[in-house]
Amino acid sequence: MSGRPFCSQAQLALPDWVALEVDFARRYPDDRSQMTLAITLAQRNVEQQTGGPFGAAIFAGDGQVVAVGVNRVVAESCSLAHAEIMAFITAQTRLQQFRLNANGGRYTLATSAQPCCQCYGASFWAGIDVLLIGARSADVHELTEFDEGPLPEDWAGELTRRGIAVRQDVLREPARAVLAAYRDRGGANY
């Protein structure tokens, strides 16, 4: 290991196509339109071969996109770089808020599949008010070999009790279709 320098910083980046894919001037007024963006990002990430079959987006109360994320674990050599985490850190960088809703706004995270144990835990501190979930963990398990990890038994209730509303099965079938497409391409599981 000697010779390799100590790293005192790290950078995480989204693929170049993301900036072209997302219309930041548009409003996404409801659960379905918000989830459609998250699923589209997941699908594009598979098509562009820039990461795993997962997408996420954060919306302000007026329906504008604050930030988006796609899975970048392999490209960024970072186990943190799941879609939800990429959305959280780029949203927080943009707003310069370590807890998004500390500025008085209301924020929604739409994610194409149920958060794994890492992204679930991160959701408590990021400052979101609503969590929209497409595919279930069971779908991820059925259609891919991605590991979702252990959660508290009443995982959704834990979020709700801390003021984060959870709405599941939002466009579940299209969300499942992206997972199946990734499997059919022989995408790596990690």
Q: Rule CB under 8 A: which residues touch its own copies?
A: 1-2, 4-14, 16, 18-19, 22, 24-25, 60, 64, 66-67, 73-74, 76-81, 85, 88-99, 116-122, 124-127, 147, 149-153, 155, 158, 190
* Residues sharing a CB contact under 8 Å with residue 13, sequence separation 6 or more, in sequence order: 72, 76
Q: How many CB atoms lie within 10 A of CB 94?
A: 12
Q: How far is the CB of 7 from its own copies (least distance, A)?
A: 4
* Closest to its own copies by CB, 166 or 177: 166
* Closest to its own copies by CB, 2 or 186: 2
Specify the amino acid at residue 161: R
Q: How far is the CB of 177 from its own copies (least distance, A)?
A: 25
* Closest to its own copies by CB, 126 or 171: 126
CA dihedral (98, 132, 11, 96) positive or negative: negative
For the residues of 121-145, what is the DSSP string, one character each?
HHHTTTT-SEEEEEE-HHHHHHH--
* Closest to its own copies by CB, 158 or 177: 158
8 A C-beta contact, residue 138 and residue 106: no
